[in-house]
Amino acid sequence: MPPPNTPRHSSADLSHAALDLHSFEASSNSPATSNVQSPQARRERRYTSLNAQVAEGLDNTTSSSLGLPHSVDFRALTYVGTVDENLICPICRVALVDPVDTQCDHTFCRECIAQALSHNEICPIDRYPLPRDAPFGRPHKIVINQLDALQAKCPCCEAPIPRSMLQNHMEKYCKEALVRCPSKTCDEVVKRKLSDRGCLHYDVTCPDCKEIHKEIDIGHHREFVCKERQKECEHCGADILRCKESEHIEDCPDVIASCAWAEYGCQHESKRKDLYLHADECAFKIVGPMAEILKKEISVLRAEVRALNEKNQAQERRIKFLESGPKESDRHFDYADISSHPVSSLPESASAEPLDSANEYLLSLIEAQENRISQLSAGMTELEAKQTMMLFNETIPIKNELTEMRSSQQVVSMHVRWLLNFRRQENQRRFGAGATSPRSNGGSDAGGSGGDAPLPRRLSDSMRDLITKL
């Protein structure tokens, strides 16, 4: 027998937990701390503190949350589609994790480049000298946004989720992720999709083999482990699982089934595999499709009528509110702006239920405006992502061209230095030969002989222009 129902966490506890988290985030973003630490440092400190609080709450039986801290190994993720080569770490060959820029403008994972420099203090790509304690820079925001937007499969449910939201998805929303058992006296974990069924860690008897197992494991036992899990279908003779018998009956070809138009009056019954023979002879083969079309149209019309009724009720509530005026308890609100607008210009309330007071009506209007602001925020985020992607694609060719120009400049400088050295050596040889020739004439007429010494050659105009440009 299952244990008695355990008490659920109240909404007040959840509200207090949400307020504590909100106040913690607000204190982390306060101006006092922003003058000391960078946004990245504050963000890392906030997440570290939150993870510590969650880990500490694992042993607290009075906690109002069933979630568990899930650590995501970003190097083991499976991505949807092909990852851009510019976002691949040259060392580990996976999408960048905590990327950093080196002094030679190369991007690596922080852990990868730190391990590489511990063995050899040079850049793994261009062999540029890099000390172990060299400071690393942060990549451009465009690179960070592209990495956060990568679609990765959830390790639990295989759903495609942006990489930046993966950990939050597993801790709060993933149906296949593990959470703590809702029972305060149980220390086990269950999947989130089973958490609303209460504690499942009690003994039950398998209906097939009569063995005793936990209720949470009985489904896996009956499908994969139980020795008596298979049986023969009494209709078609196929081997089926006992726990899947009801699903097999719905598709079994030898089960007696009714005509597709039985709800409209056809009384024919036969094996499911022979129903196609009756389809051409059925007297309702013309009426049935027409009735289906009418049925769909009626459902659409009913939905439209329901929407119109709700809209009419909302309009009546607004008219009643505007005609009645403010109550004694609502005098601290200013309704001048609302009464000055026509009824058609007022926004829809967030709830379709009747509102008892003017305060509730104003709160519903505020909630509707918050929903619209959320939609605008999502649209602006998407537009910013598109703009950053476009800017990133435009800057890559420019960066490549600058690299080529820098290498060409270095080659030209090397050639110019070689030419200047060659010219200087040639001039030194000529000056040396010209200085010894006058002394060989016995020293007579030294003044005139000295004037006949060869002068150094001037650089050509083209060479002077080249040096001037450099």
H or E stretch covering 256: strand 256-258
Question: Is the pLDDT assigned to residue 373 strictly greater than 80?
Answer: yes
Task: List C-alpha distances in Å: 310 to 201, 316, 371.
Answer: 45, 10, 19
State how many domains the chain has: 5
Taking phi over 0 as left and psi of -120 to 50 as alpha, with beta for the rest, 191 belongs to beta
Tens digit of each residue's pLDDT (9 = 90 or more) over 212-256: 999 999 999 999 999 999 999 999 999 999 999 999 999 999 999
Residue 259 reports pLDDT greater than 50: yes
Shared-domain flag, residues 97 and 163: yes
Residue-wise pLDDT tens digits, 340-363: 444 444 444 444 444 455 667 777
In-domain check, residue 201: no
Tell me if 68 sits within 8 A of 85, measured CB to CB. no
> Per-residue pLDDT tens for 29-39?
433 333 334 54
Backbone phi, psi, residue 250, to 5°: -70, -25
- Of the candidates 237, 100, 238, 69, the one whose C-alpha atom is nearest the C-alpha of residue 167 is 69
CB burial string 102-125: b at 16+ within 10 A, e below:
beeebbbbeebbeebbeeeeebbe
Domain that holds residue 418: 410-428+460-470
- Judge if 78 and 43 occupy the same domain: no
For the residues 270-297, what does the mean pLDDT come to?
A: 90
Q: Note whether 65 and 97 are same-domain residues.
A: no
The answer on 129 and 85 residing in a single domain is yes
- The per-residue pLDDT of the chain, averaged, comes to 77
DSSP 355-400: P-SHHHHHHHHHHHHHHHHHHHHHHHHHHHHHHHHHHHHHHHHHHH
Cα separation of 168 and 174, whole Å? 9
pLDDT tens readout for residues 194-218: 988 889 999 999 999 999 999 999 9
Q: Flag whether 185 is in a domain.
A: no
Q: Are residues 354 and 423 in the same domain?
A: no
- Which one has a higher pLDDT value, 445 or 69? 69
CA distance 227 to 209: 7
In a domain, 84, yes or no: yes
Q: Are residues 162 and 78 in the same domain?
A: yes
